[in-house]
Amino acid sequence: MVSSGTLWGRIRPTTSRAVLILGGVIIAALLAMSGYEIWRQRQATLEAATQNLSALSLALTQQTERAFHSVELVMDSTAQSVQQAGGPDKMRPLDLHRELKARVDGIPQMIGVAVVDREGFMIAGALRYPSPKTQFKDRDIFVRHRADPSLGVVIGAPHASPVDGRPIIPVSRRLSGPDGSFQGIVLAAVDPEYFQQFYRRVLPSEDGAFALFRTDGILLARSPQSDNTVIGQSFAHLRIFQPDTGPQGLAQGPSPMDGAYRLLAYQRLSSYPLVINVSLRRDVLLAPWLNNAGRLGLAAVLAVLLVSLATAVLTRQSRHEEAHAIALEESERRLRFAQFALDHAADMVFWVDSGGRILYTNHAATMRLEYPPDALVGQPIATVDPRFTDRAWRRLLPWLKRRRRAQFRSVHRTRRGVPYPAEVSVNYVEFEGADFVCAFARDISQRKAAEAALAEKTAKLEASNAELEQFAYVASHDLREPLRMVNSFVTMLARRYGDSLNDEAKEFIGFAQDGAVRMDRLILDLLEYSRVGRLDRPLVPLPLARGVEAAMRSLHVAIAESGAQVEVVPELPVVMANEEELTRLFLNLIGNALKYHHPDRAPQVRVGAQMVDGKVMCWVTDNGIGIAPQYYDRVFRIFQRLHGRDRYEGTGIGLAICKKIVERHGGRIWIESTPDQGSTFFFTLQAGPALA
Ligand code: ADP
């Protein structure tokens, strides 16, 4: 995904997004259109089917109506001829049989017709002669016709024929005398098979079904026949037989006959209490549609795939182009930024071609060299730096090509010919097969002046330091000579005239000797102090342990006498130090640790070191009398002591020497202490390289 925000925070509308949206819309439209078309075709198929069903049911109704009408006509004419003969008992059964047979002939839906007299005996039937003497007296139909003269034609529930056992639909009507008296009934047997065959012929397909019911739901005939639907069975529970249902209509649902989902048209006969159903299986009906929908769906899917592919390709392409455009714009903007920075940089910038011609100078360059903007473009570089004649430039270029970049100091010349020192860095650049040099130059006249001033100051300082050291050394050295003289003459005085001197004079001489000795010590200390950092003591890589061990050797008597315990951390590092001064440092610190021990306990001294921030931090810890914080600085000053000479021997130079040694080694020294508990002297030294 190309980010719409760039480094510079711009958000742009993208073509790729538009392509993506368009593709989405086309796909959605394609899916919607094909979905709608599939749905529409389905509706049309169902509509056409229901129309066909309605038409079919109407046609079948009329046909069925006609069939029953013919049966009724046969029964009516039979009744008429019986009436004309004066009643059923007035007719000869054989004649009646013949007549009935003649009437039934040519009417395929009728299996037979029979006449029953008022006593309930069958007089004659069309099928056989003589007819079986079947008794109808107690049959429901006989009783109903006898009781109700207005009953008309009654279509009974189908039952098995008493003659051959196949199912028949009984149809009956009353026989009345001229006075309306009950004379018996005419019975007709209608063949359900007739309807079944007829309907099968006209049904549109194997899956079509037809059924003939009485309006009370009793099944009279059905095609196709199935095992779980028996002629004569009642389907009164179905919705189409409910009293509120109209004379015709459409319905759909699972069929009670075979369980298949069916579309159904029903129609009530106008002259008989019968209903005709015609139905079609919905799945069969919809099969061609389903086929078609499948093809349509497939086409839609293919189209969607094609559109998706096209969208993907187009999106990719436009994203690519957009990314390219964004990158281009960004690089242009970066270029402008870089150009601005270059133009306004504090350093001078020059681009020079392979022939030594200036191609570009920035503002700082033209300003310093006192040219108008762009006036140097096209000029040879020697205009700025006279060293780079054409020949020199031709030599420089291949050298620079190998080195890629170089730095040097040079002298540049302004337009008026005023020279100034410059620090130049040149870079070789190959661009589109050509050689270029990009040079950055800085006017260092001020820096050079500052450097010169600093060097001068340093030299002066060094000279004065050396002088001071020399003075201190010479002074202390030369002071000892007269002091020695004073001391030896006072000693001589004491030795030679000692006996004639009184006690007070002897005491004075003692004081003078003492003072001379002390002064000598002070001068020696001063001498030593002045010697620290002398040039003949260079710093070299040195194991710290060496200084510690040397100091301990010098102190072994003091250690033994005081019963001290001195612990040194193993594996001390290597430092940059002068051995003599390092030994002096530890000698003073460990010596103090022994000297300023606590009167109540034997001294315990620990010496250690570790690396901290690239330096070696060393420490000497004791359990002595400690130092109060306000004296932390004072103890490092020369001849500063916290105790009188009567309590602790010393001149107060030891820590001053330590400080001087540490500082000249490039380190720092400080104290952490708790009075009455002990002190730790820390100092840092430069780490030395590890010695193999
Ligand atoms: P000196 O030991 O000759 O007096 P230093 O310069 O070595 O001189 O020490 C200065 C003073 O610092 C000492 O007089 C002492 O009071 C104090 N001092 C130095 N080291 C210790 C220490 N380890 N414990 C307590 N006090 C110390």
What is the position in ligand 1's atom list of the atom closest to the CA of 652? 8
**617 Cα–ligand 1 center, Å:** 21
Average pLDDT of span 220-240: 83
Average pLDDT of span 501-508: 89
Residues present in the chain in total: 692
Residue 416 is predicted with a pLDDT of 95
CA distances from 454 to 15, 444, 448, 464, 468 (A): 66, 15, 10, 15, 21
Mutate to test the pocket of ligand 1, among 562, 607, 635 (most ligand atoms within 8 A of CB): 635
Alpha helices in 502-606 (DSSP H): 503-531, 544-554, 556-562, 579-595
Mutate to test the pocket of ligand 1, among 528, 639, 642, 661 (most ligand atoms within 8 A of CB): 642
Of 229, 233, 212, nearest to 157 (Cα)?
233
Is 635 close to ligand 1, i.e. is its CB under 6 Å away? Answer: yes
Of 391, 475, 384, 401, nearest to 437 (Cα)?
401
Residue 549 is predicted with a pLDDT of 96
Residue 691 is predicted with a pLDDT of 61
Strands 615-621 and 604-612: antiparallel
User: Residue 546 carries which side chain, given as an amino acid letter?
Assistant: R
Q: Cβ distance 220 to 214 under 8 Å?
A: yes
Residue 628 is predicted with a pLDDT of 95
Q: Cβ distance 680 to 606 under 8 Å?
A: no
pLDDT at 476 over 80: no
Each residue of 113-135: pLDDT tens digit?
999 999 999 889 888 888 887 88
pLDDT at 533 over 80: no
Q: Which of 130-139, 523-532, 678-687 holds the top average pLDDT?
A: 678-687
Average pLDDT over the chain reads: 89
Each residue of 182-215: pLDDT tens digit?
999 999 999 998 988 888 887 766 678 889 999 9
Residue 219 gets the label, from left (phi > 0), alpha (psi -120 to 50) or beta, of: beta
pLDDT at 9 over 60: no
Each residue of 368-415: pLDDT tens digit?
999 999 899 999 999 999 999 999 999 999 999 999 999 999 999 999
d(CA 153, CA 187): 10
Q: Cβ distance 677 to 623 under 8 Å?
A: yes
Each residue of 592-601: pLDDT tens digit?
999 999 999 9
Three-class SS state of 598: coil
Of 217-231, 380-394, 553-567, 645-659, the least confident: 217-231
CA distances from 444 to 132, 199, 416 (A): 149, 120, 19
Residue 281 is predicted with a pLDDT of 87
**467 Cα–ligand 1 center, Å:** 30
Token digits for 242?
Answer: 């409910």
Determine which residue's CA is closest to atom 4 belonging to ligand 1: 652
CA distances from 633 to 597, 627, 656 (A): 20, 11, 10
Residue 4 is predicted with a pLDDT of 41
**655 Cα–ligand 1 center, Å:** 7
Q: Which of 100-109, 157-166, 254-263, 463-472 holds the top average pLDDT?
A: 100-109
CA distances from 5 to 2, 11, 18 (A): 9, 5, 17
pLDDT tier at 12, thresholds 50, 70, 90? low
**466 Cα–ligand 1 center, Å:** 29
Three-class SS state of 665: coil
SS3 letters across 401-446: HHHCEEEEEEEEECCCCCEEEEEEEEEEEEECCEEEEEEEEEECHH
Of 300-309, 312-321, 397-406, the least confident: 312-321
pLDDT tier at 538, thresholds 50, 70, 90? confident
pLDDT at 15 over 60: yes
Of 239, 237, 249, 244, nearest to 276 (Cα)?
249
pLDDT at 10 over 70: no
Q: Cβ distance 85 to 164 under 8 Å?
A: no
Is 322 close to ligand 1, i.e. is its CB under 6 Å away? Answer: no
pLDDT tier at 3, thresholds 50, 70, 90? very low
Token digits for 121?
Answer: 């005996």
Q: Which of 63-67, 243-247, 363-367, 680-684 holds the top average pLDDT?
A: 680-684
Cis status, amide bond into 88, omega within 30 of 0? no
**559 Cα–ligand 1 center, Å:** 17
Question: How crowded is residue 229: how many other Cβ atoms within 10 Å of its Cβ?
Answer: 17
pLDDT tier at 228, thresholds 50, 70, 90? low
**523 Cα–ligand 1 center, Å:** 19
Helices (H) and strands (E) in the chain, counts: 13, 23
d(CA 474, CA 530): 10
pLDDT at 227 over 80: no
Each residue of 17-67: pLDDT tens digit?
888 899 899 999 999 999 999 999 999 998 998 898 898 899 889 999 999
Residue 205 is predicted with a pLDDT of 67
